[in-house]
Structure 1
Amino acid sequence: MKVYGLLLLLLICSCEPAQDPPAVSFYYWKTTFKLDPVERTALAENSSEKLYLRYFDVGLSQGKPFPISAIIFKERPTQTIIPVVYIKNEVLLQDNISVSLLAKQISDYIQQINKHQKLTTQELQIDCDWTLTSKARFFALLEALKKLVNGPLSATIRLHQVKYFEKTGIPPVDYGVLMYYNMGKLSPNMTNSIYDSKTAAGYLRSLLVYPLALKIALPIFGWGVHIRQGKVINLLNRLSAEALADTHVFERQTDGKYKILQDGSYFGQLFVAGDLIKLEAIDTPTLDQMATELNKHINNKPTEIIFYDLDQTNIQHYAHDLFQKTAARFH
């Protein structure tokens, strides 16, 4: 009977369905929505049903909240759209701000964009790197938005907000999205500010006790760091090695940086001879490492992996099956 019971238990266990890997989604972080063939193919190949679309930023104009760089649609999305609104922390530091009014203004502006584009959205995500000083107003804003959103409300979560959540608080949202990138400061040395394994190690254990359900945002972007006389001057978004192929202008150094050989305007910025460009990006082995270490430490397995961000310059550096393989690491 004991053997029979054991066999029955094994049979029952073997019949349990395997857990599906998380869905693959993308952020779209450009001011004009128009997919090119590479971006369209990436969405189709990964069966991405959702697209997290940056709608606008909220900054200050004459001391009052003001929408910045609202999205312009050149075509109609076919995916389910989740508007993302980035709120600068300075907005929440204003003593005269009315969070209920700001919530209504955000909701109304989203509806205005949707109405103009004949879109319907049922969810909202707020992106804000809140601080201890702005926490109370930010959380009050989220509570006000929950009353206006006809669906889930989410917020982006930085690593420091996970590690010190007892001080920074847990935002009152349905779920958070862990931004597992931008871990360090831009610097002239060869550290990668997008991801650093030593920095990440200091935060990972906190994920085991973080009480809010999390989805994961992983980086597939790269950029160039403009350096002059040992100081960081600016950031060159979506810059890759292919753009630095002209050896008459860019000379690759032994440490991997590129030296500017001629004064001129490149990538929309002014350079002088002797300036340096340091490229920062995430290659496939690093992305695999990031997913593997997260899977070991996250409390609840994520239902969705969101890659930042959907752009031809980013997508073309990865194999077609990379995104599904990365999501499959979370099992």
Structure 2
Amino acid sequence: MKVLKFLLVFLCAVSCSKRETHPYSFYYWKTNLALNHTEKNILSKASIPYLYTRFFDIDKVDGKFQPVGVITKDQNFQTDKQIVPTVFITNRTLLNITDQDIKFLAENINNLIQKKTSEYHLKTNSEIQIDCDWTAGTQNDYFKFLKELKKISGKEITCTLRLHQVKDKAQTGIPPVEKVYLMCYSTSSPLENSDKNSILDVNILKSYLSKIDEYPIRKIEVALPIYSWGIVTNHLEKHKLINALSKKDLENPNFRRISENTAEVLKDGFYFGHYLNKGFTIKIEEISDDQLRDVVQFLENKIHNFNIIYYQLDSKFVLNKDFKF
């Protein structure tokens, strides 16, 4: 009996100590491709051999398609990771677009990716990722574009998938790709008056993804947030964002702490490169490992064998993080 009890305890201990691990890497979303020592070190430990790198955005300016923020590269940039070119396309780019426009857009995006890949001697893989917050009104043309880009480039075309596009899939449609990247952040707008964390509210995320296991595209990778910011509110309840702030930044003699993550400015002055007036408030939004762990455990019951891509690779965000979930 004692042997049996010991065996049960042992098996339970082994079972409870097991933790599903997910290979991981990062998005790189800066305009200049450069890595400092911290970023190089963190990236070298990533278990996926890819760095998902934003090459440029596409917007429509005065009725014309325009590449915005085209990437540059520091001459000292080096990595063993293969680069996955990633392009963000604004939803308004796709409004009132013709079939001729779609072909033109796909050709020029592919050409610009090839140009930058060659110019900077980048080692890319066989994938191009498109990031777009498409809607019910633009889905048909966006899906045509994805097919056209695949035909022109000869590459595997993948795309991002936002929470509302999962919840409202009957309206927004299913993109014609074999793999999507589920964006597990931006659960609400940071420019609204709310006590919720706009980067990631786990309860909101779970409600949007309650039926993610029914999503017809079976290969789903998971994008998780590690970024932070401060939301500044003025006397007129207008908001603006200051990137990469943390709760430690509220430890200032010119601030009055209102709560753990909110403070009031007591003295006019320049703070974090911005001029803030007395009476302005600063709300910090950042993501804990516990929140990320909660999301991963939820998704493990819905989808299986997924990789994790953290947004984003920046020394401001990667220190003291547990990436091995």
Q: TM-score, normalised by structure 2?
A: 0.87
Measure how far apart 1:160 and its partner are.
1.0
SS of 1:155's equivalent in the other structure is: strand
Q: Which amino acid aligns with 2:168?
A: Y
Unaligned runs of 5+ in 1: 1-17, 327-331
Kindly indicate whether the alpha-carbon contact (under 8 Å) linking 1:265 and 1:271 is maintained by their aligned counterparts in 2: yes
Any conservation in 2 of the 1:217–1:307 contact (CA below 8 Å)? yes
Moved segments of 4+, more than 6 Å: none
Contact 1:188 1:232 in 2 (8 A): no
Deviation at 1:45, TM superposition (A): 2.3
Q: Distance in 1 between matches of 2:19 and 2:150?
A: 31
TM-score normalised by structure 1 residue count: 0.86
Would you say 1:297 and 2:318 are equivalent positions? no
- Secondary structure, in 3 states, of the residue corresponding to 2:323? helix
Tell me, yes or no, if the aligned pair for 2:247 and 2:260 is still in contact at 8 Å: no
In 2, distance between residues paired with 1:305 and 1:148?
A: 29
Q: CA deviation at 1:28?
A: 0.7
Aligned to 1:28: 28
User: Is residue 270 from structure 1 mapped to residue 275 from structure 2 by the alignment?
Assistant: yes
* Per-residue CA distance 1:145-196 (angstroms, 9 max, x = gap): 1112333211000011111212211111120000011111223332101111
Q: What percent of counterpart residues are identical?
A: 34
Matches within 5 A, 1:168-317: 168-186=172-190, 187-212=192-217, 213-229=219-235, 231-247=237-253, 249-254=254-259, 256-298=261-303, 300-302=304-306, 304-317=307-320
Would you say how many aligned residue pairs link Structure 1 and Structure 2?
302
Q: Deviation of residue 273 (structure 1)?
A: 0.8
**Other structure's SS at 2:240 match:** strand
Listed one character per residue, the Cα deviations across residues 230-273 of structure 1 (whole Å, up to 9, x for unaligned) are 624211111112333332x3222136311112223333333211
Give unpaired runs (5+ residues) of structure 2: 1-17
Report the alpha carbon displacement of residue 66 of structure 1 after superposing the two structures with TM: 0.3
Rounded Cα–Cα distance in structure 1 between residues aligned with 2:236 and 2:194: 9
Q: Is the 8 A contact 1:177 1:217 kept in 2?
A: yes
Aligned to 1:78: 80
Which residue in the other structure is 2:55 paired with? 55
Q: How far apart are residue 108 of structure 1 and its match?
A: 0.5
Amino acid at match of 1:77: T
Q: Distance in 2 between matches of 1:243 and 1:165?
A: 40
In structure 2, how many angstroms separate the alpha carbons of the residues matched to 1:105 and 1:45? 35
Over 3 Å counting, the alpha-carbon distance change for 1:20 and 1:190 in structure 2 is closer
Q: What's the Cα RMSD here?
A: 2.0
